[in-house]
């Protein structure tokens, strides 16, 4: 060891605390990234789930009400009448989810002229003595004028904004938490050889332990939400999960449609699998508002939108079609051409969801019945991205 770097004695307790603090910081930061990522994934999944599957859920609820009303009209039994009234009330009391999600999107925007107004100031209260004491101490220690570094001034100003908000509510507990956060922040750490370094390390470790507990609790809360539990079924492939859910909803709607037709006296009883013997589970008659076209009738120069996944697209697609996977359609609406749009998927289920959504947005969109399977069956041309013979995956 050179004379320029003499050995320095280190307190064993302090060295152990240094290691524990470093490990706790790494654990907390890793957990925090995971939780923030999970929150974003759940929010995005919930939005796409509502936009693409919401109409299917609404149609299924309407069919449930119609079936219950048909049963009540046929039997006249008080119990059936009650069930029909409850089913109809459930349809009528559905919240305006479109307005709700529009509001969420607006509030998460970046401001500008159309940004929502800032939240109203809290009702002023007279903070107690403890809150006043902690507030004065925090302002004294964290004031931006105590530094000349612009980045540090900005950090202090942002911190004091949180302090001022807590003080405006008279929230002594929040102020105590902010005081602990400031006193244990890495920027406030004493030098390694400072006498109070060990005490700071203990406080920092206590603060990190509490944050790890809070972060873990938030992760559990997010995972247990309805959308969190749904996303957990296929965290690596949520788009395929949406496709599976759509197929299940379409099958249920087909069953209700067949049951309703039977009750109204115009159709035979359902088959063993619960669907009409001549009706496909993805029949467009379940959604008469969706424009559709046979694959053979699509004009050669039509604008095509393929909403399948990347591997399906690469295996075989229509040359010149626009490829946007179903999970990205909402975010990439601006890429769609203004002309009439023919939408394709593998068999027509996913494309039906997209067409219904686009029609609700005022776009001119048509579902290609049978999807790429029907396209291939009609002898329409296909290409692959690999140079091999194209096929429908």
Name the residues annotated as catalytic. 345
CA distances from 126 to 166, 268, 325, 382 (A): 12, 74, 55, 73
Q: Is 205 helix (H, G, I), strand (E, B) or coil?
A: helix
Structural contact between residues 242 and 54, judged by C-beta atoms closer than 8 angstroms: no
H helical segments located in 264-370: 310-315, 349-360
Q: How many whole angstroms separate alpha carbon 147 and alpha carbon 56?
A: 58
Which regions of 22-151 does DSSP assign to beta strands (E)? none
Q: Is 386 helix (H, G, I), strand (E, B) or coil?
A: coil
Structural contact between residues 269 and 276, judged by C-beta atoms closer than 8 angstroms: no
Q: How many whole angstroms separate alpha carbon 99 and alpha carbon 26?
A: 41
Structural contact between residues 294 and 367, judged by C-beta atoms closer than 8 angstroms: no
With CA atoms as reference, report the closest residue to 283 among 365, 216, 347, 363.
347
Structural contact between residues 373 and 392, judged by C-beta atoms closer than 8 angstroms: yes
Number of alpha carbons in the 13 Å side-chain half-sphere of residue 239 = 17
For residue 303, give the H/E element and its range: strand 303-306
Per-residue DSSP letter, 317: B
Q: How many whole angstroms separate alpha carbon 51 and alpha carbon 104?
A: 13
Q: How many whole angstroms separate alpha carbon 65 and alpha carbon 98?
A: 22
Q: How many whole angstroms separate alpha carbon 20 and alpha carbon 307?
A: 50
With CA atoms as reference, report the closest residue to 259 among 279, 245, 244.
279
Structure tokens at 337: 């051409």
């Amino acid at each position: 060891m050179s004379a320029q770097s003499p050995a320095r004695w280190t307190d064993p307790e302090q060295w152990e605390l240094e290691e524990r603090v470093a490990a706790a910081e790494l654990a907390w930061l890793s957990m925090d990234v995971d939780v923030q990522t999970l929150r974003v994934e759940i929010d995005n999944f919930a939005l796409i789930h509502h936009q693409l599957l919401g109409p299917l859920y609404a149609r299924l609820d309407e069919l449930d009400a119609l079936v219950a009303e048909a049963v009540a009209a046929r039997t006249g039994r008080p119990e059936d009448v009650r069930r029909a009234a409850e089913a109809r009330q459930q349809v009528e009391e559905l919240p305006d989810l479109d307005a709700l999600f529009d509001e969420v999107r607006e509030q998460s925007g970046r401001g500008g002229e159309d940004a929502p107004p800032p939240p109203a100031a809290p009702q002023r209260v007279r903070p107690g003595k403890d809150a006043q004491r902690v507030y004065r101490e925090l302002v004294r220690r964290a004031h931006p004028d105590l530094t000349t570094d612009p980045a540090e001034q900005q950090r202090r100003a942002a911190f004091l904004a949180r302090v001022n908000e807590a003080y405006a509510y008279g929230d002594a507990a929040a102020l105590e938490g902010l005081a602990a956060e400031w006193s244990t922040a890495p920027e406030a750490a004493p030098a390694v050889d400072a006498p109070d370094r060990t005490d700071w390390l203990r406080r920092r470790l206590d603060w990190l332990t509490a944050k790890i507990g809070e972060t873990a609790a938030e992760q559990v809360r997010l995972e247990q939400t309805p959308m969190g539990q749904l996303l957990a079924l296929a965290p690596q492939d949520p788009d395929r999960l949406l496709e599976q859910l759509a197929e299940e909803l379409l099958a249920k709607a087909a069953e209700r449609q067949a049951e309703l037709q039977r009750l109204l006296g115009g159709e035979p009883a359902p088959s063993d699998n619960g669907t009409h013997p001549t009706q496909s589970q993805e029949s467009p008659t379940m959604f008469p508002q969706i424009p559709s076209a046979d694959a053979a009738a699509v004009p050669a120069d039509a604008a095509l939108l393929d909403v399948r996944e990347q591997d399906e697209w690469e295996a075989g697609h229509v040359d010149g079609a626009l490829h946007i996977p179903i999970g990205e359609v909402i975010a990439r609406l601006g890429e769609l051409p203004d002309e009439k749009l023919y939408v394709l998927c593998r068999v027509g289920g996913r494309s039906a969801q997209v067409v219904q959504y686009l029609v609700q947005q005022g776009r001119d969109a048509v579902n290609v019945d049978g999807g790429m399977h029907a396209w291939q069956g009609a002898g329409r041309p296909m290409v692959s991205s690999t140079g091999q013979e194209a096929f429908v995956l």
